[in-house]
Structure 1
Amino acid sequence: MRTFDISPLLRSSIGFENLNRLVDFASRVDGADSAYPPYNIEKVGDGEYRIQMAVAGFGQDELELVVQENTLVVTGRANAETETGERLFLHRGIAKRAFERRFQLAETIKVTGADYEHGLLNITLVREIPEHKKPRRVEIGTSPVADGRATLMAAE
């Protein structure tokens, strides 16, 4: 019997555990999902997350972050002048190819900031739950509407 490992589905989704959305997203075949650049997703605290991407060789001006609807898109494009410089590489082991990495975010996840240090791009995310979606305590007691219906039903 074959087992289905859903851990690859969880690595690019942050802040929600809705399996239907994960399976739907994973079933899209676009071939664009590669292993470059490598990244980590970590839970920093209660409702706080961080995406850390290894983008060695890229400068801050060559990286772009865009949040549109529930998708975070991180794009890296090398500047033309740095690629066609007077440098002659005997071995080029640090990949500096263009990339686009997409992360599906839950509706409650907001990107709050990003910084670039030592070849690592750190993106900070926070779960912000609106007041109307937060759990609230409901007192148990008699409801005037329920009592009115009971009286009306008894009269019929």
Structure 2
Amino acid sequence: GDLVAPGTKPERELYFRWWQLAVFMPVLQFSVLPSDYNDDFELTKVSRVLTQFRKTRVEPAIREALEEPGAPIVRPLWWLDPRDSNTYGAGHQFALGRNLIVAPVLEPGRNSAYVYLPQGWWCEDQKLHRGGKWISVVAPLEKVTYFSRSDKC
């Protein structure tokens, strides 16, 4: 996904957050480069970390999702459990394949997220969460908010 419209430059915080979202998209491209932020070392460092994260965690999930005939790579949360009505109300979240849930924070000044996890076990930041409920998670600027389906972290 492209981060911003050509010729525009978002606030630095929002640019960080958009980066966190964009790494989960099947295609990653930029209208505004990290270097456009006047040699912002922190932003350049985060960009490198997120690019590496994409290679090691996201691209394998994309390849796995491609193996499911007829299923999109990026899916609405209800795709994971269409019988669970809570999945329809989690509009800010999406699934990448069957085993990753992404809960991007895209509002300036926000450092937490209210996330719905479908049935099963979900790992986030070395914390194991039981699904089938809403949870509140801390989402500082330096953290990508995502969950992996797993019974252990």
Larger Rg: 1
Instruction: Please indicate the TM-score interval, normalised by the length of the shorter structure.
Output: under 0.3
The structure where helix makes up a greater share of residues is 2
Higher relative contact order, chain-length normalized (CA < 8 Å, sep 6+): 1
TM-score, structure 2 as length reference? 0.28
The structure where strand makes up a greater share of residues is 1
TM-score, structure 1 as length reference? 0.27
